[in-house]
A and B are shown apart, each in its own frame.
Chain A
Amino acid sequence: MGLLNQRFENGNVLLTSVDDVLAWGRLSSLWAMQFGLACCAIEMMATGASHYDLDRFGTFFRSSPRQADVMIVAGTVTLKMASRIKTLYDQMAEPRYVLSMGSCANCGGPYWEHGYHVLKGVDRVIPVDVYVPGCPPRPEALMEGLLKLKEKIRKERLILKQTA
């Protein structure tokens, strides 16, 4: 519970909105889909390992898209892989998020001109929530991207009626 740890006397009541609690719960355990495409995946693995310890943000890797909340597209998306990524995205349960990691997934990166086999940005096949620049981004950058995603989720309102 972090901030709330042992701060209260017996029998206290906390007031909050249901939306805030739901958002807090969802953003605190963003399970990522376990797949990597290129060198960015090495940085992603480093971020998940003990030194950077992604688990402290509530993010760890699940090997099934059914159990994942966020897809980290870490690396070069080839045209051959693009349809597979679309399938994996479709298999994820909503609400789902996509974090595009690195220049290749953002816009094609160094393959933008002569990469006959590279999709110039994963946002051509699936919607992207956060773009993390870098080639590859350092683990700190990936964590920053996930924190940005958390900010986005924190502001989401699920049970309120949407007014146009």
Chain B
Amino acid sequence: MIAQELYDLLKTTFSDGILEAKLDGVIDPWVSVAPDRILDVARFLRDDERTQFDLLTLLSGVDMTKGTLAAVYHLYSMKRNHKIVLKTFVPETHPHVQSVASIWRTADWQEREAFDMYGMIFDGHPDLRRILMPDDWDGHPLRKDYQVPEFYNGMKVPY
């Protein structure tokens, strides 16, 4: 399936759950999904006979600036040899996204990384805690407005 067909399929199946899309003029065509529908969309894309997205190649967080965070899902189907990118945009003040760790087990650690670096909350995640930074770290370092602390446990951090 090409991106346009995938988008049409998603739009007819989920209608209001699919917000916008950019299918032309980009390397990876993407579809934007409502943060509270991403679990349904993910399950559909994995299980439907026409899509069969059995592989989540990448899940990453993005700071879009101006108070918006995003989770980006790069999906690939080994069986159908087609791919699509899903995006969910959430406000910094309420950064809640449904976890897809129950759909693809790869999402487990990658969602933890997005939580660690951007402070996104993945509802339904089996074990949402920091994965890279120390457990007692303050803040989420890859946010654009992040300020490096002066000290961490008595150690000076800036050069």
A interface residues with partner B (beta carbon < 8 Å): 79-80, 82-83, 107-108, 112-113, 116-117, 119-120, 124-125
Q: Tell me which of A82, A112, A116 contacts B155 (CB under 8 A).
A: A82
Q: How far is the CB of B67 from chain A (nearest CB, A)?
A: 21
Subset of 7 A-B contacts with CB under 8 Å: A79-B152, A80-B133, A82-B155, A113-B159, A120-B158, A120-B159, A124-B155
Q: How far is the CB of B130 from chain A (nearest CB, A)?
A: 10
Residues of chain B contacted by A117 (CB below 8 angstroms)? 132-133, 141
Complex Cα–Cα for A83 and B158 (A): 17
Say yes or no: B159 contacts A79, CB within 8 Å: no
Instruction: Give the size of the chain B interface in residues (CB under 8 angstroms).
Output: 13
Kindly state whether residue B27 has any CB partner on chain A within 8 Å: no
Residues of chain B contacted by A120 (CB below 8 angstroms)? 156-159
The 4 closest A-B pairs by CB, nearest first: A80-B134, A116-B141, A112-B159, A116-B148
B interface residues with partner A (beta carbon < 8 Å): 132-134, 141, 146, 148, 152-153, 155-159
Residues of chain B contacted by A119 (CB below 8 angstroms)? 155
Complex Cα–Cα for A85 and B137 (A): 18
Q: How far is the CB of B132 from chain A (nearest CB, A)?
A: 8
Say yes or no: B134 contacts A124, CB within 8 Å: no
Residues of chain A contacted by B134 (CB below 8 angstroms)? 79-80
Residues of chain B contacted by A82 (CB below 8 angstroms)? 155
Residues of chain A contacted by B155 (CB below 8 angstroms)? 79, 82, 119, 124-125
| Known A79-B134, A116-B157, A120-B157; further 16 A-B contacts with Cβ < 8 A | A79-B152, A79-B155, A79-B157, A80-B134, A107-B159, A112-B159, A113-B159, A116-B148, A117-B132, A119-B155, A120-B156, A120-B158, A120-B159, A124-B155, A124-B156, A125-B155
Residues of chain A contacted by B133 (CB below 8 angstroms)? 80, 117
Q: How far is the CB of B133 from chain A (nearest CB, A)?
A: 7
Complex Cα–Cα for A80 and B30 (A): 36
Q: How far is the CB of A122 from chain B (nearest CB, A)?
A: 11
Q: How far is the CB of B89 from chain A (nearest CB, A)?
A: 25
Complex Cα–Cα for A83 and B153 (A): 9
Residues of chain A contacted by B158 (CB below 8 angstroms)? 120
Residues of chain A contacted by B148 (CB below 8 angstroms)? 116
Residues of chain B contacted by A79 (CB below 8 angstroms)? 134, 152-153, 155, 157
